[in-house]
Chains A and B, each alone.
Chain A
């Protein structure tokens, strides 16, 4: 054992990563070499100070948000499976072929309102928080297999606040979040079946207003507790941009 050998392995020795045999050889060398002992002591002191550095603990809100997200993804998956099973059951029961989505508009509206409420309650409005459309749009890359159009309408009082990936009907959708005074508007965007433009159609449920329309191969669902007139203004501006 020489000092040169320890040049290479002093850290592995301090970290107890040498095998038993090599470790014993180092110890023998250290007994007779004050210079190498000093090197080891210095490393150990450094390690000790590093361990005393303040540890950054996860904030409570992050912890509960992640827990809620994990639970939600389970319940949504379970719902989707149940819904699929129900459709299949009805189709088989009637002896007919599956003719596409069986659900009516009513249940779809309910899902959208639920999605909106969920985003407000679980404190999970944004995965990306930014008023800059050039930050929000690229954020979806790699998370969805489509790229939602993102525009900021702050100039007319509807400011972009952020976005997140959400689930509607078991499918991932882009959720864009806009703010008008204290009101939140969720806009759910997903690819539509055709390229034809349709809508907007208006619905209301439990005090929330929903607008649905299709354009440019995307379907849009806007939901908010904002009054009808302003929501219409918002939707018109969004469709025109």
Chain B
């Protein structure tokens, strides 16, 4: 019964949980460990899941699991190995455009990774995972106003660092 509910509600969001974990941990191995531990917790807390979107609920569990791990280990950024292997260019573009696109994606990814965690995670939840401000506030357990200001400041910083490394026409 519980396993069925888990299959129906949590498993469809496993990719999202992994992607989120990958951004938190910056490592494939750590992301796998984190998602596995988070899913064990999710299974245990499954009865507390109300109707509605299970995604913010699952993100909150992944995030809490991560922060309790980090506080156990004492450091957030110890496993910051970054691989650039999956920046495949779009085949429909000509070679020069491909290079530009590849370069932009790599730069944006680096800029996002360099952002302080409090800004990185709101941008991730908003722009990549598509959560609403209200849902992000639930995940982070902060007021919506805080979510708004972190998104603003995070995007400002991202734009600044991107403008600093190259002209911005690639963003247009």
Contacts and interface: CB of A to CB of B under 8 A. Distances in A.
Residues of B in contact with A, size category: 35 or more
A47 interface: yes
A67 B132 CA distance: 29
Q: Main SS of the interface on chain A?
A: helix
B130 to A, nearest CB: 8
Residues of A in contact with B, size category: 35 or more
B61 interface: no
B3 A71 contact: yes
A50 B31 contact: no
A17 B37 CA distance: 33
B18 A50 contact: no
Contacts of B28: 56, 59
A56 B19 contact: yes
Contact of B151 (A11, A54, A58, A66): A11
B3 A74 contact: yes
A6 to B, nearest CB: 11
A50 B36 contact: no
Contact of B148 (A12, A53, A138): A12
Q: Main SS of the interface on chain B?
A: helix
B27 to A, nearest CB: 11
B50 interface: no
A73 B43 contact: yes
A227 interface: no
Contacts of B171: 42, 45-46, 49
A234 B14 CA distance: 40
B36 A65 contact: yes
Contact of A47 (B7, B14, B32, B127): B127
Given A10-B152, A11-B155, A141-B72, A54 B105 contact: yes
Given A46-B155, A65-B36, A56 B22 contact: yes
A139 to B, nearest CB: 8
B109 interface: yes
